[in-house]
């Protein structure tokens, strides 16, 4: 099988993202940026986790089945880079919630990346 380690890491990051998102949202520290996932959070935690993990599981199955294709290798590499960046955002969120980092530093950091985010996702 191809991409086993990468797929397990990606799924683990997906799970960690889901759990940290629940913690931040339920404690009023942050909001879910994805409208669909925010609606699922409004339904309940199980609906949110089920959808998030179902997407991660589907992705894992696709990567494990067709991981020998070049596009799968490139795609998983890009996804891992994006998830590592997302973990950095979770870290800043946690540090801000704990009062270790000020909101101004976090806002400035996100403002610096806003043009890049607009190009990538806009």
Q: How do the domains of the chain map onto residue ranges?
A: 4-121
Q: What is the pLDDT of residue 13?
A: 97
Nearest Cα to Cα of residue 93 among 27, 48, 45: 27
pLDDT-flagged residues of the chain (< 70) = 106-107, 109-110, 116-122
Q: What is the pLDDT of residue 117?
A: 65
């Amino acid at each position: 099988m191809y991409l086993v380690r990468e797929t397990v890491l990606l799924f683990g990051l997906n799970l960690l993202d889901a759990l940290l998102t629940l913690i931040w949202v339920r404690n009023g520290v942050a909001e879910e940026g994805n409208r669909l996932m925010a609606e699922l959070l409004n339904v309940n935690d199980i609906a949110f986790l089920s959808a998030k993990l179902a997407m991660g599981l589907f992705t894992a199955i696709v990567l494990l089945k067709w991981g020998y294709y070049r596009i799968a290798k490139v795609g998983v590499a890009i996804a891992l880079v994006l998830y590592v960046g997302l973990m950095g955002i979770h870290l800043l969120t946690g540090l801000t919630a704990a009062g270790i980092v000020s909101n101004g530093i976090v806002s400035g950091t996100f403002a610096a990346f806003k043009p890049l985010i607009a190009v990538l996702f806009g």
